[in-house]
Chain A
């Protein structure tokens, strides 16, 4: 009896922070898993942004491959006329004359290897050149090689798996999508976090003052904030970006204005309720200065809600930033950005190049959902209003 009575607390005190966090799963149940899951997504993305230079295989702005390489494609096969393959050293193809097709990965590969690429407009031209003896070797996409060999007599595969592949393909300018996604995370998180920081600082300050001072100032500020809140945020951001001009900081400022009212409302509401608490009354009656009451007694109570709102707002800011980029008003074109990639990629959807927009969209959803899950989980954990017992 006595052991079970006292053990939970003493044990918790003896384990480390991580251990205590791990314990939390029992205490908070599913909410814990939601929060942790959201947190893990974000951790992965944040690591990605920090280590972008090492993680990204290529420069996000470099035209590294052929346009519209589908995901996983890019490797080349070397073909020759059957039985006539010239004795070549596969590890050194420089100096060879290799037939390539225009705007395909083979052309880039030949250039990189130092081979002399002879370019042909279409695949038919390329194959005809090989069969007519114009060239002795040609590059074709690895995925097409077996089919070509099967449908044209007298061809054989000399080598396969040459060059590199692009796990998520390349875009309309031949840029590697993986690299763009990794670098884009920096932009998106940078803008979203900066704007949330701006709006939280202004929103919290105004909220504290408004709730604490009350009276006329409170009424005016509340009405102003309500008005901004009721205005479609994206439209406000659009108007501001049009006026301020494109650029990372300008976008962050434009986005932050939208979210000031959210912080304001939450903080003000909290202040109003905390202000009535007995211990604040007691501090006041003991002669504590208003500023002391505000910073020592009221502000700490506001923090949990602010953490939740911050997380949810970052999620929203990411979507707004992407929306701005999508309507073409966000960032300069040389900044890798998911929203920008999406808006540029949409025109190629009809032609079947789905990978240009699919992956940036998934990334935006993932990051926004990560912040939302984190915020949602935290709000249940920090404000256990509905959890009984």
Chain B
């Protein structure tokens, strides 16, 4: 690792600190400072004064705001999100149970998004202003305009209940269970333990949710790739390559894409928020037991601590991801590496 790259990474890591602080404060403001009493929001109107008071006392909501804020921050720093109000287990344990499902869904969707998006975006850029370009552009707008849950339901209707090809809910069929949970991603665990029946089952459950989320995001990704490819293909080194007799295919997919990929990776980091937001809806649609489900279900269960913990976890997650993406960027672009 060169000194420049090391310095770059250190700066990025340091920049993550204020970001985490701001995100955690944002969550604090939304959950504690904004009008709307969590006790009332969770217990609903009609709860007795004693119930409200004991709820507030249990969460420390009766203390002054600045004290709450300090307790809140120290809790986050110690990675202690308190106890679930309905399950009587640490919230971190709940997150540990539900998070791998979200990771599995997110990775599979990202794969779909990247394959569809990069190919169609590069193709559209290469054939700019051709009918294929316009078709891809309009199709990508329509894809992105689809409500994720609606696309999910339509796919369920077609391939699930209609054709009966694929399961439409949960991660595994009833009775199936991984012999050993290693990563928590059932498809990966199945490969690691060589359990092919489990792999087939887990993968078939994963197809529709991943397709749903992946296709919708592919709409954005196509547009990003196309725009960045157009920028790159306009540049002198492409003309220079053409003047050296390089094939168009090589110019577009080797020289063009490699350069366009650098800004795309940065944008991908920003799109991660969309991926997680989309995952919440996808999980709800497909009864996929991930973090999104956890949040939505526990809102109904009035489990304030778990909801708060899960949202905080999301905040830490996006900060972590943006750090990872920035570091990746450093490795991708030689202008930073040296």
A touches B (Cβ under 8 A):
yes
On A, residues with C-beta under 8 Å from B are 30, 34, 223-224, 226-236, 238-240, 242-245, 315, 319, 322-323, 326-329, 339, 342-343, 346, 349-350, 354, 357-358, 360-361, 364-366, 368-369, 372-373, 376, 386
**Closest chain A residue, CB of each to CB of B300:** A328
Complex interface residues of chain B between 262 and 284 (CB less than 8 A to chain A):
269-270, 272-274, 276-278, 280-281, 284
User: For chains A and B in complex, what number of residue pairs have CB atoms within 8 angstroms?
Assistant: 151
B126 within 8 A of A: no
B173: shortest Cβ distance to chain A, in Å? 17
Complex CA–CA separation, A233 to B270 (angstroms) = 12
Complex interface residues of chain B between 240 and 296 (CB less than 8 A to chain A):
269-270, 272-274, 276-278, 280-281, 284-285, 295-296
- Check A239/B31 contact, CB under 8 A, given A230-B270, A326-B281: yes
B41 within 8 A of A: yes
Question: Does A231 lie within 8 Å of B141, measured CB to CB?
Answer: no
Q: For B230, list chain A residues within 8 Å (CB).
A: 386
- Check A227/B147 contact, CB under 8 A, given A238-B295, A245-B36, A327-B280: no
- Check A342/B277 contact, CB under 8 A, given A227-B22, A235-B295, A243-B38: no
Complex CA–CA separation, A226 to B311 (angstroms) = 17
Complex interface residues of chain B between 119 and 155 (CB less than 8 A to chain A):
129, 134, 137-138, 141-142, 144-150, 153-154
Question: Does B307 lie within 8 Å of A242, measured CB to CB?
Answer: yes
Question: Does A322 lie within 8 Å of B147, measured CB to CB?
Answer: yes
Q: For B141, list chain A residues within 8 Å (CB).
A: 369, 372-373, 376
Question: Does A342 lie within 8 Å of B150, measured CB to CB?
Answer: yes
Question: Does B150 lie within 8 Å of A357, measured CB to CB?
Answer: yes
Question: Does B318 lie within 8 Å of A231, measured CB to CB?
Answer: yes
Question: Does A319 lie within 8 Å of B34, measured CB to CB?
Answer: no
Complex interface residues of chain B between 148 and 174 (CB less than 8 A to chain A):
148-150, 153-154, 156-157, 161
Question: Does B273 lie within 8 Å of A223, measured CB to CB?
Answer: no
Question: Does B34 lie within 8 Å of A240, measured CB to CB?
Answer: yes
Q: For A229, list chain B residues within 8 Å (CB).
A: 270, 273
Most buried by A among B18, B134, B147, B307: B147
- What are 7 sample pairs from A and B whose C-beta atoms fall under 8 A apart? A227-B22, A231-B23, A238-B280, A244-B35, A319-B147, A323-B280, A386-B234
B279: shortest Cβ distance to chain A, in Å? 8
Complex CA–CA separation, A364 to B156 (angstroms) = 19
Which of B22, B280, B307, B319 lies in contact with A234, CB distance below 8 A? Answer: B280
Complex CA–CA separation, A229 to B281 (angstroms) = 19
Question: Does B26 lie within 8 Å of A228, measured CB to CB?
Answer: yes
Q: For B27, list chain A residues within 8 Å (CB).
A: 239
Question: Does A365 lie within 8 Å of B146, measured CB to CB?
Answer: yes
Question: Does A239 lie within 8 Å of B311, measured CB to CB?
Answer: yes
Question: Does B145 lie within 8 Å of A319, measured CB to CB?
Answer: yes
Which of A245, A364, A376 lies in contact with B150, CB distance below 8 A? Answer: A364
Interface of chain A, main secondary structure: helix
Complex CA–CA separation, A328 to B154 (angstroms) = 19
Most buried by B among A229, A231, A386: A231
Which of A34, A228, A350 lies in contact with B138, CB distance below 8 A? Answer: A34
**Closest chain B residue, CB of each to CB of A388:** B234
- Check A232/B144 contact, CB under 8 A, given A223-B18, A223-B19, A327-B296: no
B115 within 8 A of A: no
A358: shortest Cβ distance to chain B, in Å? 8
Complex CA–CA separation, A224 to B23 (angstroms) = 8
B299 within 8 A of A: yes
Complex CA–CA separation, A33 to B41 (angstroms) = 48
Question: Does B145 lie within 8 Å of A234, measured CB to CB?
Answer: no
Q: For B142, list chain A residues within 8 Å (CB).
A: 365, 369
Which of B19, B150, B322 lies in contact with A365, CB distance below 8 A? Answer: B150
B30 within 8 A of A: yes
Complex CA–CA separation, A275 to B149 (angstroms) = 44
Complex CA–CA separation, A341 to B77 (angstroms) = 42
**Closest chain A residue, CB of each to CB of B151:** A361
Question: Does A354 lie within 8 Å of B34, measured CB to CB?
Answer: no
Instruction: Enumerate the 8 nearest inter-chain pairs by beta-carbon distance, A residue then B residue, closest first.
Output: A361-B150, A368-B145, A243-B36, A234-B277, A369-B145, A232-B277, A232-B276, A227-B22
